[in-house]
Amino acid sequence: MARKWWQDAVIYQIYPRSFQDSNGDGIGDLEGICSRLGYLKDLGVDAIWLSPFYKSPMKDFGYDVSDYCSVDPIFGTLADFDRLLEDTHKRGIKLIIDLVPNHTSDQHPWFVESRAGRDSPKRDWYIWRDPAPDGGPPNNWMSFFGGPAWTFDAQTGQYYLHQFLPEQPDLNWRNPEVRAAMYDVMRFWLRRGVDGFRVDVMWLLVEDALFRDEPENPHWQPGMWDRGRHLHIYTEDQPETHEIVREMRQVLDEFDGDRMMVGEIYLPYEQLIPYYGTPERPGCHLPFNFHLITRGLSNWTAENLRRIVEEYQASLPAWATPNWVLGNHDQHRLASRIGHAQARVAAMMLFTLPGSPTWYYGDEIGMVDGDIPPEKVQDPAALRQRGLAGDQGLDPGRDPERTPMQWTPFTYAGFSTVEPWLPVNPDYPERNVETQDADPESMLTLVRTLLVVRRETPGLREAPYESYKAPKGVFAYLRGRVVLAALNFTAEPKTLAVPPGEILLSTYLDRYGAVESTLELRPNEGVILRLQ
Ligand code: NOJ
Ligand code: CA
């Protein structure tokens, strides 16, 4: 079967608020993204994923949608979206948009109608329950953003479920009308021509039908994250979820042109891989593999990374497409987690592993976490935790990884002409696209070159992964016995026995040429070798 575009596509995630402001209100927008397509083409990405730009009260910065078939005026208009899509396609780049099916905004007309009365025709579109006998929430389920996952509605005397903010009520996916409505939303955008969806919290779409309490987590301690109190056997990864994923797949397959979905799923491999479905009944094209983030960044050693990669390779069925991620808008910045030298090694690993990698905007210039003063914190998750804790709290939540893209060494880093919604990182005079573009050894040059090498080296995109023996501190692997990646995860020099070959790229961007039988790796160096 011919390879599909998404089987080795480099997906670039844009957080629209923070990429480029075009109209001087300090918030990024679609027009701004349009103006930066040339940059993305030069960078060499195959697809763009846009975080939500739909009409929204912005309680969770767009992950609280009040109209799925519109563009919020902050970001532009539907006509702007159509132009962005057209311009993206003209450049040979695919466009994937965010689908947020688990919950709506509490301002969505569906919820307004649902909460209007117990006999509302849309009552059952959301999850309403009577209070417990003591008047409290119906069970012990906790929200991801702190506190109970239930909010009482005094007017109708019942609680509604929300896995996130109270302003993000969960839809009832057991209701066929809800399914039909969301599939029509998908069709709306597919007809406009989008290439697919990144599906928000795919593993949370359904909860236990009996609303049983979740068991205590024996490892939880006071002071830890609220939601960590329980083991989530009734609010995550319920069996019916796979039916829904299958139905979403069928909607995508109604359209020609290889439309696809990538699903947000934070689960161990044995629970993650079933989201691919089976060859006869395929499900999600790319269930996000977050293990490099969740298990890798906190223990950044060659041995741990080899384990993460090889466990995945071993458990993935041959027909399923692997995928890898190192950052997104919910995770602290790559360079802040592992340092700039290792971020270069990480990029080389990401773009030489088999399958489809996803890259977070700004990581290509090594953007670091912003330092957000407590009074400037915007992230609703952080603010809610703070409110619940009854203190000022210092945790800036997810703001640090959402600061404006750094384009130039000039005012507001070229992101905007006015003060942006989140402070520009003060390192922008040195760390920005313009400066790194002119520097032959910058992180930006490395990422761009890695993507050239990835495109132009037979084997790197499609050949199978094969483990390669390496000394402690080095992770090495072959791709189809024609390419060898050797990655030094330490600050010490290392030596590796290799077959004769030619250096295609070093993360230092300063050496090429023949290698006989030994490869000397400098501290924090990764090398791609083409074997003879
Ligand atoms: C996951 C998204 O990535 C995150 O940013 C958002 O807050 C939650 N889903 C709720 O939609
Ligand atoms: Ca703007």
From-to residues of CATH 3.20.20.80 in the chain: 5-104+175-437
Give the model's pLDDT for residue 218. Answer: 96
Give the model's pLDDT for residue 385. Answer: 82
- For the segment 67-115, what is each residue's pLDDT rounded down to a tens digit? 999 999 999 999 999 999 999 999 999 999 999 999 999 999 999 999 9
Ligand 1 proximity of 164 Cβ (cutoff 6 Å): yes
Does 384 or 328 have the greater pLDDT score? 328
Q: Is the pLDDT of residue 388 over 90?
A: no
Whether 364 and 327 have beta carbons less than 8 Å apart is answered as: no
3-state secondary structure 210-226: CCCCCCECCCCCCCCCH
Region 461-465: mean pLDDT is 93
From-to residues of CATH 2.60.40.1180 in the chain: 463-531
- How far apart are the C-alpha atoms of 50 and 84, rounded to whole Å? 11
Which CATH code for domain 5-104+175-437?
3.20.20.80
Give the model's pLDDT for residue 249. Answer: 98
Give the model's pLDDT for residue 7. Answer: 97
Distance 509 CA to ligand 2 centre (A): 37
Q: Are strands 474-479 and 465-468 parallel, antiparallel or unpaired?
A: antiparallel
Helix (H/G/I), strand (E/B), else coil: 512: coil
Closest CA to ligand 1's atom 8:
63
In order of 34, 84, 192, 195, the CA distances from 81 in angstroms are: 9, 5, 10, 14
Whether 64 and 105 have beta carbons less than 8 Å apart is answered as: yes
Active site members: 200, 264
- How far apart are the C-alpha atoms of 99 and 188, rounded to whole Å? 12
Distance 438 CA to ligand 2 centre (A): 28
Closest CA to ligand 1's atom 4:
330
Architecture of domain 109-161: Alpha-Beta Complex (3.90)
Helix (H/G/I), strand (E/B), else coil: 520: strand
Least confident of 152-161, 170-179, 222-231, 466-475: 222-231
- How far apart are the C-alpha atoms of 200 and 66, rounded to whole Å? 15
Cα dihedral 138→141→142→147 (10° resolution): 20
Residue 478 backbone class (left: φ over 0; alpha: ψ -120 to 50; beta: rest): beta
Ligand 1 proximity of 330 Cβ (cutoff 6 Å): yes
Helix (H/G/I), strand (E/B), else coil: 314: helix
Region 222-228: mean pLDDT is 85
The number of the ligand 1 atom at minimal distance from the alpha carbon of 163 is: 10
The number of the ligand 1 atom at minimal distance from the alpha carbon of 380 is: 7
Give the model's pLDDT for residue 400. Answer: 98
Residue 68 sits at φ, ψ, to 5 deg, of: -70, -20
> Is residue 157 packed enough to be buried (19+ CB in 10 Å), middle (13-18) or exposed (0-12)?
exposed
| pTM of the predicted protein model | 0.98
Q: Is the pLDDT of residue 173 over 90?
A: yes
Q: Which amino acid, 77?
A: T
* Span between the terminal Cα atoms of the chain, in Å: 29
Helix (H/G/I), strand (E/B), else coil: 348: helix
Give the model's pLDDT for residue 223. Answer: 79
Ligand 1 proximity of 63 Cβ (cutoff 6 Å): yes
Region 499-519: mean pLDDT is 97
> What single-letter DSSP state applies at residue 293?
I
Q: Six-digit token pair at 126?
A: 């959301």
Strands (E), 290-445: 323-325, 356-360
Q: Is the pLDDT of residue 389 over 80?
A: no
Give the model's pLDDT for residue 458. Answer: 86
- How far apart are the C-alpha atoms of 315 and 185, rounded to whole Å? 34
Whether 351 and 357 have beta carbons less than 8 Å apart is answered as: yes
Residue 470 sits at φ, ψ, to 5 deg, of: -150, 155
Residue 5 pLDDT level (bands cut at 50, 70, 90): very high
Residue 215 sits at φ, ψ, to 5 deg, of: -70, 155
Class of domain 463-531: mainly beta
- How far apart are the C-alpha atoms of 258 and 264, rounded to whole Å? 20
Q: Mean pLDDT in the chain?
A: 97
Whether 400 and 370 have beta carbons less than 8 Å apart is answered as: yes
- How far apart are the C-alpha atoms of 163 and 408, rounded to whole Å? 39
Percent with pLDDT over 90 in the chain: 95
Q: Is the pLDDT of residue 392 over 70?
A: no
Of 494, 484, 479, 481, nearest to 525 by C-alpha is 494
Region 421-439: mean pLDDT is 98
In order of 15, 58, 422, the CA distances from 165 in angstroms are: 20, 11, 21
Give the model's pLDDT for residue 90. Answer: 98
Region 274-279: mean pLDDT is 98
Q: Tell me the CB-side half-sphere exposure of residue 212, using CA atoms within 13 A.
A: 11
Q: Which amino acid, 409?
A: P
Give the model's pLDDT for residue 393. Answer: 66
471 alpha carbon, distance to own chain's centre: 32
Helices assigned H by DSSP within 94-209: 109-114, 176-192
Whether 406 and 367 have beta carbons less than 8 Å apart is answered as: yes
Ligand 1 proximity of 200 Cβ (cutoff 6 Å): yes
From-to residues of CATH 3.90.400.10 in the chain: 109-161
Residue 487 sits at φ, ψ, to 5 deg, of: -120, 120
Distance 4 CA to ligand 1 centre (A): 28
Distance 415 CA to ligand 1 centre (A): 24
Q: Provide the β-strand partners of residue 433.
A: none
Which string of DSSP letters, residue by residue, matches 403-428? PPP---SSGGGGT-SS--SSPPPTTT
Residue 391 pLDDT level (bands cut at 50, 70, 90): low
Q: Is the pLDDT of residue 325 over 70?
A: yes
Whether 397 and 379 have beta carbons less than 8 Å apart is answered as: yes
Whether 95 and 50 have beta carbons less than 8 Å apart is answered as: yes
- How far apart are the C-alpha atoms of 10 and 4, rounded to whole Å? 13
